[in-house]
Amino acid sequence: HIDETERSIQKRGSEVPETITQLQEDYYLNREVIVSHWDSCISALKWEHRQALRTFVMSYEGHINSLPTNNDRPNLTRMFLKDSSSKTLNSVLKKSSIINNQAISKRTDHIPLSETFTVQLGRQLRTMFNFRLIRLDPSELLTRLKVQENHLLDDDWLAERMNNALNIYSNNLNGLMILVDKRINSFRGIKKLLADACEQSAELHFPEFGSQLESIQETVNRLGSRQLTELNGESKLRNNDLCSGISTVKSKSECYEPIHGDVLITKHSNLISSTGDGINVIFQVVIDENYETNNNIRIPSSLHNAISAVLRTCFEYDITTLSLPLLLVSSVSENMDRSWRAKRVETVLKAVKGALMELITWRGPNLRSIQFLAPSWITDEELNVFRQIISNSFLQPNPLIVV
């Protein structure tokens, strides 16, 4: 290709435009072939990973069924590891034994500043919650552990991947709320980081991230055209297709878009956060840029409904830890000064408190921990202001000390 390009540059006259056009066609054709080849290789590798997991699960189940019921867990694992077909499990379990030594040492340089609160909610029957204020961007939770230079996976990464896969079937799931735009299939900002993180390893339990977005797009298309209006602090949703009495069907190339405050949920088994815990559920809250241009401190009722919907889902589906951005804005502009940010934090906390008070009265204390993610660029002084706002907004238990 280099020689062909040099020969084309040396040409003169009328042959130059035709040569450039031909080079462009060849470039895009070769690029398409290469991309298609590597996509096929990646798909084949993911299929091999899924088949390996299926084989491992089936063999493990066979060993469990063949053992007496009175065997304890250590003996069961020891007997299973003696079999030659479980060398992979044996290797992974050995690697997981060093996670406490290696993983912690790797993250000591990246530990964000944080503070933990124990708060009480409820008028008569008190419910305890653990709040954590942490100076960390949501995008940093999606960072993956690096791969060694020899392309072999780190021992701690393998152990965390196995632990994250097991946690999917537990009643202690982790959720993360992020703010995205209305375009479902557009990848930029934190959504681009999320897509890149999902492509780092095979999704062994749920549909691929792209397939989940396609299902979400189909659901939005079935809902039709909707319009959200904010009047006197209240959101009114209007379905234009139903109001007009005309049933319209868009072509496959045309898609409807979600509206401000919609929540798009995706499930993951291959996301390992930089803090060591896996992220199982991503809540993508749709933010319309037109609603952020006014720099309103007040949260519109559509976002109030989004917060309530996210917390309600956490209560219903055993999501015991939720991380959400404290300012609840996709980007901070110059007009959002320190005073604006402090008042915005108060507004967000009031919305969270109101939703929690409503849910704990009839659903029980399923959600136990909430992480409020403050922007990573704020100063220690401003973080202390946020800490004081949380302390003033929620009742904290004061132990009685008897001398």
* Tens-digit pLDDT profile for residues 68-93: 765 555 554 555 545 544 455 445 44
Which residues make up the CATH 3.40.220.10 domain(s) of the chain? 114-201+260-393
User: What's the pLDDT band for 111 if we cut at 50, 70, 90?
Assistant: low
3-state secondary structure the chain: CHHHHHHHHCCCCCHHHHHHHHHHHHHHHHHHHHHHHHHHHHHHHHHHHHHHHHHHHHHHHHHHHHCCCCCCHHHHHHHHHCCHHHHHHHHHHHHHCCHHHHHHHHHHHHCCCEEEEEEEECCCCCEEEEEEEEECCHHHHHCCCCCCCCCCCCHHHHHHHHHHHHHCCCCCEEEEEEEECCCCCCCCCHHHHHHHHHCCCCCCCCCCHHHHHHHHHHHHHHHCCEEEEEECCEEEEEEHHHHHCCCCCCCCCCCCCCCCCCEEEEECCCCECCCCCECCEEEEEECCHHHHCCCCCCCCHHHHHHHHHHHHHHHHCCEEEEEEECCCCCCCCCCCCHHHHHHHHHHHHHHHHHHHHHHHHHHCCCCCEEEEEECCCCCHHHHHHHHHHHHHHCECCCCCCCC
In this predicted structure, what is the pLDDT of residue 212?
A: 95
Report the predicted TM-score, pTM, of the whole model to 2 decimal places. Answer: 0.75
In this predicted structure, what is the pLDDT of residue 81?
A: 47
Q: What is the pLDDT of residues 206-229, one digit of tens each?
A: 999 999 999 999 999 998 877 665
CATH 3.40.220.10 matches 114-201+260-393: yes
User: What's the pLDDT band for 236 if we cut at 50, 70, 90?
Assistant: low
Q: What mean pLDDT comes out for the span 103-126? A: 68
User: What's the pLDDT band for 389 if we cut at 50, 70, 90?
Assistant: very high
